[in-house]
Amino acid sequence: MKTAGKTHGTGCPVAHGLDTFGDRWTLLVLRDMILHGKRRYGELLEAEEGIATNILADRLKHLEAEGLITRVRDPQNRRSYLYGLTEKGLSLMPVIFEIIKWSAAHFPLTATRKRLLQRINEDSAGLIREIRAREAANPLP
């Protein structure tokens, strides 16, 4: 399998991070789960970047294997699954926020995203708490 990561296998924490989420798609999947609260395969497929179905399946497996997300059957619909963020996945929020801040400094944002950026700049701890609360309020069944 080994998707999203031939391992660099050194002790470097930066390399370790890249082994876990350092490809073109993994962080976008996490972005959709963290920022947009997506929990289903079908929702994640609709990402505006247009991820391919096999790539999405690979990344979800990888993220589950790495312990950043969990997968359970939807009790309301047994052909469906629900994906939820673990603490390890949620703790990537600061990384995503710093990427947003970096991008914002070097290319223009839409109005909606400017609001998000402002929130990150002014109260990132609060935003992190809010997202954690949202997850805690909707635990996977």
Residues 91-130 that bind DNA (CB under 7 A): none
Query: Is 75 or 108 the residue whose CB approaches DNA more closely?
Result: 75
Least Å distance, CB 123 to DNA, is: 33
With CB under 5 to 8 Å by kind, the binding choice for 78 among its own copies, DNA, none is: DNA
Whole-angstrom distance, CA of residue 44 vs CA of residue 8: 28
Helix (H, G, I), strand (E, B) or coil at 71: strand
Instruction: Give the three-class secondary structure for 109.
Output: coil
Residue 85 pairs in a beta bridge with 69
Number of residues that bind its own copies (CB under 8 A): 42
Element (H, E) at 83: strand 81-85
Question: In the complex, which residues of this chain contact its own copies (CB under 8 A)?
Answer: 5-6, 8-18, 22-24, 27-28, 31, 48-49, 88, 91-92, 94-107, 109-110, 113, 117
